[in-house]
Amino acid sequence: MISLKEVSKRFITKQGEIVAVDNVNLDIQRGEIFGIIGYSGAGKSTLIRLLNGLEKPSVGQIVVNGQEITSINEEKLRGFRQKVSMIFQHFNLLWSRTVAENIAFPLEIAGVPKDKRKARVEELLNLVGLEGRGDSYPSQLSGGQKQRVGIARALANGPEVLLCDEATSALDPETTDSILDLLVSINEKLGLTIVLITHEMQVIQKICNRVAVMENGQVVEEGDVLEVFQKPQQAITKRFVSQISDSNQPVQTIQKLVQLYPNGKLVKLVFVGETTEQPILSRLIKQFDLEVNIVQGNISHTKSGAFGTLILQIDGNDQAVEDAIQFIHSQKVNTEVINND
């Protein structure tokens, strides 16, 4: 659906050349929700602007739905943008227009007759849960409602791709969840390909099928969300994953845990998918003559399945401890020994 091959974007400034996107290769499948995560300055906003032709790459090729967009003329680019819509962090609504008029605006530009515009607007109001609010003005809406207007407007011309530029960053957690649920619903109902950029791993966790992690203009890690959660490779990815691991409870540092639990071995267990539902701990206690203490743990849920971590203190006969660790391995649970006392 979307393919980027060796794409780079450079800007010339008074301070010199800035490489905002550096040799990025990506393939995004039709109908998936693909996340691009990175901290400020990582290049993700420039990357998403490349996807709808607002910026042209310095080098490389971008293909969207079979159309190579890096060299098409302005007229074709305008037609292309009707099929690739965008929603923004700060909504970008026309404050002097009603909700219905905001949603109808791209239809006006496209030359859609008035009666068809009205019918389409009503359809979209229902889709985003704003029935009866067509005559309201943006100033009369909550942040979540404003974003729903932005989503409806972006869907007006029946796009094939929806780009989301930090679309939930200005919203409170509860409203964020409702907007993410709406995006999932739209993705499923319309078969829409959604590409979203964010600096919040919770957003990736909740709705994305796959994720690309950006740092210094480069994609440093990419994969299925559950796989990235299970085995983050890069330091920055581990930081993002820790946003989820640390969100549910206070987590002690490894050094602190070693100090607090000096006896036996501290073992970190990583559960993925169906293994999160297995009674492994009770089997461990029944089968081996050991003292097993739960030090800390949590379970998070992604679109692809559950992901959990558990740190145990296992104390007892050395051989029994080793046998217990091998038993855990046999249950398809990744393990890591934190200390070897």
Q: What is the mean pLDDT of residues 256-283?
A: 77
The 3-state secondary structure of 272-312 reads EHHHHHCCHHHHHHHHCCCEEEEEEEEEEEECCEEEEEEEE
Instruction: Give 204-233 pLDDT, tens digit per residue.
Output: 999 999 999 999 999 999 999 988 887 889
The answer on pLDDT for 318 being more than 90 is no
To 5 degrees, how large is the angle CA 110–CA 152–CA 301? 140
Most confident residue range from 171-185, 250-264, 279-293: 171-185
Task: Return the higher-pLDDT residue of 272 and 284.
Answer: 284
Interacting residues of 309 by C-beta distance below 8 A, sequence separation 6+: 245, 268, 269, 270, 271, 297, 298
**Which is it for strands 16-28 and 291-302: parallel, antiparallel or unpaired?**
unpaired
Q: Which residues of 259-270 are buried (b: 16+ CB within 10 A; e: fewer)?
A: eebeebbbbbbb
Domains and CATH numbers, the chain: 2-244 (3.40.50.300), 254-337 (3.30.70.260)
For helices 114-127 and 99-109, give the axis angle rounded to 10 degrees.
Answer: 130
Structure tokens at 154: 């972006």
Instruction: Give 13-46 pLDDT, tens digit per residue.
Output: 998 999 999 999 999 999 999 999 999 999 999 9
Which helix (DSSP H) or strand (DSSP E) does residue 124 occupy? Answer: helix 114-127
Q: What does the pLDDT read at residue 81?
A: 83
- Cβ proximity of 235 and 242 under 8 Å: no
Q: What is the mean pLDDT of residues 87-101?
A: 95
Q: What does the pLDDT read at residue 251?
A: 46
Task: Give the dihedral sign, CA 126/128/134/136.
Answer: positive
Q: What are phi and psi of 35, to 5 degrees?
A: -105, 140
Q: What does the pLDDT read at residue 268?
A: 85
Structure tokens at 190: 């319309």
Q: For a pLDDT cut of 90, what percent of the chain falls above it?
A: 59
Helix (H, G, I), strand (E, B), or coil: what is residue 157? coil
**Which is it for strands 2-13 and 59-64: parallel, antiparallel or unpaired?**
antiparallel
Helix (H, G, I), strand (E, B), or coil: what is residue 154? helix
The answer on pLDDT for 250 being more than 70 is no
Task: Return the higher-pLDDT residue of 306 and 64.
Answer: 64
Structure tokens at 271: 């559960």
Model confidence, pTM: 0.82
To 5 degrees, how large is the angle CA 49–CA 54–CA 58? 80
Q: Which of 33, 35, 46, 151 is nearest to 92 (CA)?
A: 151
Interacting residues of 96 by C-beta distance below 8 A, sequence separation 6+: 137
Q: For a pLDDT cut of 70, what percent of the chain falls above it?
A: 94
Long-range pairs for 168-177 at CB < 8 Å and ≥24 separation?
Answer: 168/198, 168/200, 168/203, 169/89, 169/198, 169/199, 169/200, 170/89, 170/90, 170/91, 170/143, 171/143, 171/144, 171/147, 172/143, 175/142, 175/143, 175/144, 175/147, 176/203, 177/206
**Average pLDDT score, the chain:** 89
Helix (H, G, I), strand (E, B), or coil: what is residue 139? helix
**Which is it for strands 265-272 and 291-302: parallel, antiparallel or unpaired?**
unpaired
- Cβ proximity of 277 and 261 under 8 Å: no
Q: What does the pLDDT read at residue 301?
A: 73
Compute the 3-state secondary structure of the chain and give helix, strand, coil in percent, each to the nearest 5.
Answer: 40, 30, 30
